[in-house]
Chains A and B, each alone.
Chain A
């Protein structure tokens, strides 16, 4: 399979290089064909790999590709670890990427940067595959940063827009804050295990957990806890967990296809994937898991609330993404890694679908993104309407949809997790994910109703041109709607309860909530028929109903609520002031420190007092000696030689 793996990784890279360097020569059609063929090849081969794993019984493979460097006995290499976790991620990444490539043909049709765009998204696919297929921390970090680079380039794709180039810098720097933790975590791994290789690191995980590190002298902390929290800080950056989430809403400045691909379906889930991949480490630190679950809970609930007050169609979905990533993180913290990955997969389909549907509406309205200027679009864009409905239902976990299976079981797993009976952590996590269901349903259908139903609030000019988008746009929507609707039904049994992941994910005996739930698993149908008895179902229903009442039936009420609770509204409208914390706090603070060091440290003290001060003193002395000296360079050189001679004499005398 080695040839397969190499092809899967290199085909998108080659396509990206061709489209990027020879874009002018191959033309627009050439660029989209070469990248679609490249990514299509990857996608097809990824499904072959998955098929071999799932039905063919192929075991995991750990293959070295080449040696990057060897220093100090530390082997740094490039290699693939392809197991069932990897295979699943490869399929999700390449499939969504392929859909987005096709969609882009329509979406970016009039953009002058057409070839550049295709080059970037193919390059992204390469980087993301390197990340998920890695068998070591070095390559993981490479993929991690490379997807960050492409994200940076794509958020700032329209580089004339001030808001876009602000957003891409912000995204890169906030991610770097996460990477700061991540690289320290990797350094910790090497310090305690002497290796970067997953297999070797996992093999010595127990020994690491038995050691302490004194970050602050006199207070020994468990080495594994420190390492896992550091690694998780990386995940918080990439998977946009509070308080490192601030970059994701702004990333919506990029073209919509990449919002779907990078900022919803794939890159932002890299942190989730990474923690699941590192499950043999996280399982050994309950403290780290507690941090994970609390951060996830905060993100899941509070970011969902923000979605309700947003008016930009993409930002509503972006905050929804934050909230859903929070759900996945909560699952990780509950040791329900497979539930997290399962939700990651279903989310990739339905969220990419929602973004692409939003994009279709945006281009149909000539780049209008404000939902207050939409409404009643249903009759103009039926395919978009129905596919968006599928995506929305999946997002709120409507019984039978893919999101139903992943989210219901995720919440169930949190409820049954080893945190049960552990006090605050448990209740924070459980209530967040449970109440989050209502919030999710509310913001999802607020968006849906405001866009597709109700009064047509766009201007006449826009309405006159409103029509369904061409097949290159609608076909990917339909192709994504199919898995968004049904994939949960077919895969939930085998993936979650059929021990699909096997050794790819490690859960310690006492944490194995999914294992315990498997005993009570009687198939998709049973879960479906029991769904109406669950609080989750009724919470979602209440959310949809509230959305209907507030935004269709009595649209005057939200305005009244807003005026009644201005304090709360302000807090939400300012996104809990996190942006201010980062921009007015850290960024401005950093600039002040820089200014202080430069003006006071370098210019005043070092140059002003020490360097030029010395020079002035010498100058004054030279002024005295001006009668015999000229003040030229050699004067100083000469005086140095005198000093040197004196020093030499002193040394000789000393001996």
Chain B
């Protein structure tokens, strides 16, 4: 790899998929999903996403676990008058998320290969552009650049749900857009305030800026609205089940696997280091909201009759562990535990990306055949789809946090950290062992097991080659991280230590 290439690795990761998406839009398809032109489009889309994966492997290979600070940095003046820079860089928090993004996108493209009949070129273009923008969010070091990526990301997702979504897609897209947009507008206000304080949009400038407690509280709340909606945290979570239910399978996968992670990432990248005292001030509330997400949402998930809604609620409960792990930071008097909670939250994000993505794919596989997401429309699927059922049970077990799967790793670490902080935190968090198993396996019982329930189930065909490939890749990833999370965790450790150190210094 020559120097020029590696110096612009992040730019390539951002702009390559976007360029690929734009190319697809320019050429366009001929309105016929079966035509050779549409076929060519698919191959172009897949190739671009696969090349992006290869480039991301370069990022992984070149990433130095031991280094402090940002790596693969790029900086160029963008809007000189406002001191805005095109500034990129990654550390142990963002790199795993970029790898996840690059990894998930081709899987989504393969899954949607021939299930999308309406304007496939535009559909694939939306996903490629979305991929680039999401990687942009994870690598931006300039607040305005971050904000631009953050907001533009909404557009392709808005279109994916609004154009290729289900019956109530208009309600769902509006709810999705308004919720997330409302949240992020306040983030922009905070950025502009910080610009006034520091004279630039450099995130490190923001982190170094001395801020009063009042200012930090306002900044924290402004960020909170943006990030809590994305995670989503209780009580601003109700857009997610609606969005998931209406989104096409690929949209659900990207939404659950990556877009929700924006919220968690925002907390560690912005809230904690920019407003450490504000974060500390609100940490009790954040822990409470996280635990409500785990317990309350766990109960709500139990009663869902729609598989996608069930998994959406399950996502909210699992993301509760992310925010819980992050905001335990101030709960340890003396002893260690902060890094455990933080790393647990990070691992949970990656793991949830894989597992919830896989769960949505599984529902998609059934939906493509029967056109229903209702649990009651199934029963005894194992009789006609044994291979699919094996995958579904595996992912369900991972969702229930079975050791040996990635779902266990983060939850285990966060539960230990919670116990160190307060017995009752751990008590409530650990209830996921029961609730998570209850809602996931009860669904499995009703969908997968039993006698063949109806003619639709009797007519089911087991996985085709592409579906098998995608689920197998995800299954292997879930198992690898579950059996040997060290490579993933080693990537984060230094950055996490550094972040805790940084947050530990009060700005007052």
Q: Given that A184-B430, A598-B303 are contacting pairs, would A146 and B189 also be in contact in the complex, using a CB cutoff of 8 Å? A: no
Stretch at the interface among B23-31, B268-276, B369-377, B408-416: B408-416
A607 to chain B: closest residue by CB:
B238
Inter-chain contact B419/A190, CB cutoff 8 Å? yes
Does any Cβ of A come within 8 Å of B302's Cβ? Answer: yes
Residues of B291-307 contacting chain A, CB below 8 A: 296, 299-304
Q: Does B343 contact A (CB under 8 A)?
A: yes
Give the residue name and chain of the B residue nearest to A66 (CB): B484
A640 and B181 in contact, given A213-B423, A597-B296, A602-B300 (Cβ under 8 angstroms) = yes
Which positions 160-188 of chain B face chain A at CB distance < 8 Å?
A: 174-175, 177-179, 181-182, 185, 188
Assuming the contacts A68-B484, A159-B450, asked whether A191 and B434 have C-beta atoms less than 8 A apart, the reply is: no
Query: Of B185, B238, B302, which contacts A640 at CB under 8 A?
Result: B185
A490 to chain B, nearest CB (A): 38
Chain A CB within 8 A of B289 CB:
no
The answer to whether A169 and B441 touch (CB under 8 A), given A184-B419, A606-B238, is yes
Q: Nearest Cβ in chain B — how far from A340, in angstroms?
A: 26
Interface of B is mostly: helix
Residue of B nearest to A20 (CB): B390
Mark the stretch among A358-366, A386-394, A471-479, A586-594 that contacts chain B: A586-594
Q: Report how far A648 CA is from B382 CA in the complex, Å.
A: 58
Q: Tell me the bound Cα distance from A153 to B448 in angstroms.
A: 12
A138 to B411, CA, bound (A): 13
Interface size on B, residues (CB 8 A): 73
A residues contacting the other copy or chain, number (CB 8 A): 66
Contact of A644 among B178, B185, B343, B404 (CB under 8 A): B185
20 further A-B pairs in the complex, CB-CB below 8 A; given A172-B437, A648-B189: A72-B337, A72-B339, A74-B336, A145-B403, A153-B393, A162-B450, A162-B451, A165-B445, A165-B449, A165-B450, A183-B433, A213-B423, A215-B424, A594-B301, A594-B302, A595-B303, A597-B296, A598-B304, A606-B235, A641-B185
Q: Is the CB of A71 within 8 A of B433?
A: no
Contact B238 A69 (CB under 8 A): no
Interface residues of B in 216-261 (CB under 8 A from A): 235, 238-239
A191 touches B419 (CB 8 A): yes
The reply to whether the CB of A202 lies closer than 8 angstroms to some CB of chain B is: no
Q: Of A173-181, A399-407, A441-449, A456-464, which stretch is located at the interface? A: A173-181
Q: Does A149 contact B (CB under 8 A)?
A: yes
Q: A146-B403, A644-B189 are in contact. Are A69 and B485 (CB under 8 A)?
A: yes
Chain B residues with Cβ below 8 Å from A641 are 185
Chain A nearest CB, measured from B347 CB (Å):
9
Are B485's CB and A647's CB within 8 A?
no
Q: Could you tell me if A215 and B185 are in contact, using CB atoms closer than 8 angstroms?
A: no
Q: Is A651 an interface residue (CB 8 A)?
A: yes
Of the A-B pairs whose beta carbons lie under 8 Å apart in the complex, a sample of 30, sorted by A's number, is: A66-B484, A74-B336, A138-B412, A141-B412, A142-B403, A153-B393, A159-B449, A160-B383, A160-B451, A165-B449, A166-B445, A173-B438, A176-B434, A183-B412, A183-B415, A184-B426, A187-B416, A187-B419, A187-B426, A188-B419, A191-B416, A590-B302, A590-B438, A597-B300, A606-B235, A610-B235, A640-B181, A651-B196, A652-B196, A655-B196
Q: Is the CB of A68 within 8 A of B434?
A: no
Q: Which residues from chain A contact B266 at a C-beta distance below 8 Å? A: none
Known: A173-B441, A191-B416, A607-B238. A594 touches B299 (CB 8 A): yes
Taking a contact as CB atoms under 8 Å apart, the answer to whether A71 and B489 are in contact is yes
Please state if A597 and B403 are interface contacts (CB–CB under 8 Å): no
Residues 344 to 368 of chain A near chain B (Cβ within 8 Å): none
The verdict on A186 contacting chain B, using a C-beta distance below 8 Å, is yes
**Cα(A187)–Cα(B177), bound, Å:** 41
Contact present for A191 and B420 (CB under 8 Å): yes
Q: Is A637 an interface residue (CB 8 A)?
A: yes
Q: Is A611 an interface residue (CB 8 A)?
A: yes
> In the assembly, what is the distance between CA of A191 and CA of B431, in Å?
19
Report whether A149 and B451 are in contact in the complex, using a CB–CB cutoff of 8 Å.
no
Are B192 and A176 touching (Cβ within 8 A)?
no
A601–B404 Cα gap in the complex (Å)? 35
Which residue of chain B lies nearest to A655 when distances are taken between CB atoms in the complex? B196
Q: Bound complex: CA of A448 vs CA of B438, how far in Å?
A: 39
A633 on the B face (CB < 8 A)? yes
Q: Tell me, yes or no, whether B380 is within 8 Å of chain A by CB.
A: yes
- Across chains A and B, which 6 residue pairs bring their CB atoms closest together, nearest first? A187-B419, A72-B339, A594-B299, A594-B303, A594-B302, A142-B403
Q: Are A173's CB and B303's CB within 8 A?
A: no
Name the CB-closest residue of A to B409. A69
Q: Is B397 an interface residue (CB 8 A)?
A: yes
Which residue of B177, B178, B403, B484 has the most chain A CB atoms within 10 A of its CB atom? B403
Give the total number of A-B pairs whose CB atoms are below 8 A apart: 167
B389 to chain A: closest residue by CB: A159
Instruction: Chain A residues near B175: list those with CB within 8 A.
Output: 611
Task: State the Cβ distance, B158 to closest chain A Cβ, in Å.
Answer: 9
> Complex formed: what's the CA distance from A402 to B357 in Å?
53
A contact residues around B179 at 8 Å (CB)? 611
Which residues between 619 and 644 of chain A lie within 8 Å of chain B, taking CB atoms?
633, 636-637, 640-641, 643-644
The answer for the CA separation of A152 and B343 in the assembled complex, in Å, is 31
A71 near B413: Cβ-Cβ < 8 Å: yes
Per-residue interface assignment for chain B, residues 329 to 353, with 1 indicating a CB less than 8 Å from any chain A CB and 0 otherwise: 0000001111110011000000000
Cβ contact of A149, chosen from B174, B402, B423, B427, cutoff 8 A: B402
Contacting residues of chain A (376-424) with chain B, CB-CB under 8 angstroms: none
B435 — which chain A residues lie within 8 A by C-beta?
590
Contact of B486 among A70, A72, A593, A615 (CB under 8 A): A70
Is B193 at the interface (CB under 8 A from chain A)?
A: yes
Which residue from chain A places its CB closest to the CB of B402 in the assembled complex?
Answer: A145
Complex: A156 Cα to B444 Cα, angstroms: 12
**B177 contacts across to A, CB distance below 8 A:** 633
A73 CB within 8 Å of chain B: yes
Residues of chain B with a CB closer than 8 A to A610's CB? 235
Q: With a CB–CB cut-off of 8 A, which chain A residues contact B412?
A: 138, 141, 183
A-side contacts of B302, CB under 8 Å = 590-591, 594
Smallest Cβ-Cβ distance to A139: which chain B residue: B403
B437 to chain A, nearest CB (A): 5
Contact A180 B431 (CB under 8 A): yes
Interface centre among A68, A138, A183 (most CB of B within 10 A): A183
In the complex, what residues of A have CB within 8 A of residue B336's CB? 72-74, 194
Say yes or no for A25: interface residue by CB 8 A criterion. Answer: no
Which residues B426-459 have CB closer than 8 A to chain A?
Answer: 426-427, 430-431, 433-435, 437-438, 441-442, 445, 448-451
Interchain CA distance A456-B304 in the complex, whole Å:
51
B467 to chain A, nearest CB (A): 17
A67 within 8 A of B: yes
Closest to B451 in A: A160
Using Cβ atoms and an 8 Å threshold, which residues of chain B touch A70? 486, 489-490, 493
Q: For B95, what are the chain A residues with a Cβ–Cβ distance below 8 Å?
A: none
The interface residues of chain B lying within 8 Å CB-to-CB of A145 are 402-404, 408
- Least CB distance from A601 to B in Å reads 7
Residue of B nearest to A181 (CB): B430
Q: Smallest distance from the beta carbon of A88 to chain B beta carbons, Å?
A: 25
State the CA gap A35–B335 with chains docked (Å). 48
A160-B300 contact, Cβ under 8 Å, with A176-B434, A183-B412, A190-B420: no
B418 interface residue, CB < 8 Å from A?
Answer: yes
* Least CB distance, A607 to chain B, in whole angstroms: 5
Question: Once bound together, how far apart are the Cα atoms of A152 and B319, in whole Å?
Answer: 27
Q: How far in angstroms is the closest Cβ of chain A from B392?
A: 12
Q: B420 contacts which chain A residues (CB < 8 A)?
A: 187, 190-191
Complex Cα–Cα for A127 and B427 (A): 27
Measured CB to CB, the nearest residue on chain B to A637 is: B181
A644–B441 CB distance below 8 A = no
With A146-B403, A190-B416 in contact, is A176–B437 under 8 Å at CB? yes
Cα(A177)–Cα(B430), bound, Å? 10
Chain B residue nearest to A641 (CB atoms) is B185
Q: Which residues of B contact A595 (CB under 8 A)?
A: 303
Cβ-neighbour of A72 out of B185, B343, B445, B485 (below 8 A):
B343
User: In whole Å, how far is B238's beta carbon from the nearest beta carbon of chain A?
Assistant: 5
